[in-house]
């Protein structure tokens, strides 16, 4: 079963709907700006949490021109965070080849 429907609105209805929507968006946008300002003020009062390298794992090749280096970082609360650092050597090797 297929069909179609046509809705006709006059210009006043469209203008009223548009104005109501604009008012609602403007009101909520103001709230978003306030929440954002509060979050930014709070973030600026907290000292940055430094991360230090706790350990470095053994680098491994990850293709012909890249290395993966496992790292463990430690934050100010002594929590450890593991990550893999990938070093892409293309640009370095290309520059060396151009200068040779």
* Closest of 91, 90, 71, 89 to residue 81, by C-alpha: 71
Residue ranges per domain, the chain?
52-99
Q: Cα separation of 97 and 57, whole Å?
A: 29
* Residues with Cβ within 8 Å of residue 81, at least 6 apart in sequence: 51, 72, 73, 74, 75
Helices (H), 46-89: none
Residue 27, pLDDT score: 64
Q: What's residue 80's pLDDT?
A: 92
pLDDT along the chain (100 residues), means of 10: 61 71 66 77 69 92 89 89 87 62
Is the whole model's pTM more than 0.85, yes or no?
Answer: no
Predicted local confidence at residue 21, as pLDDT: 67
Whether the Cβ atoms of residue 49 and residue 56 lie closer than 8 Å to each other: no
Whole-angstrom distance, CA of residue 33 vs CA of residue 40: 10
pLDDT at 70: 94
């Amino acid at each position: 079963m297929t069909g179609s429907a046509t809705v006709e609105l006059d210009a006043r209805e469209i203008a009223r709907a548009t104005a109501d929507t604009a008012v609602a968006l403007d009101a909520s946008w103001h709230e978003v700006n306030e929440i954002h300002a509060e979050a930014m003020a709070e973030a600026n009062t907290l000292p940055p949490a430094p991360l230090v390298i706790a350990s470095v794992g053994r680098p491994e090749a990850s293709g012909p021109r890249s290395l993966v280096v496992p790292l463990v970082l430690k934050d100010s609360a002594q929590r450890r965070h593991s990550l893999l650092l990938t070093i892409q050597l293309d640009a370095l090797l290309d520059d060396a080849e151009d200068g040779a």
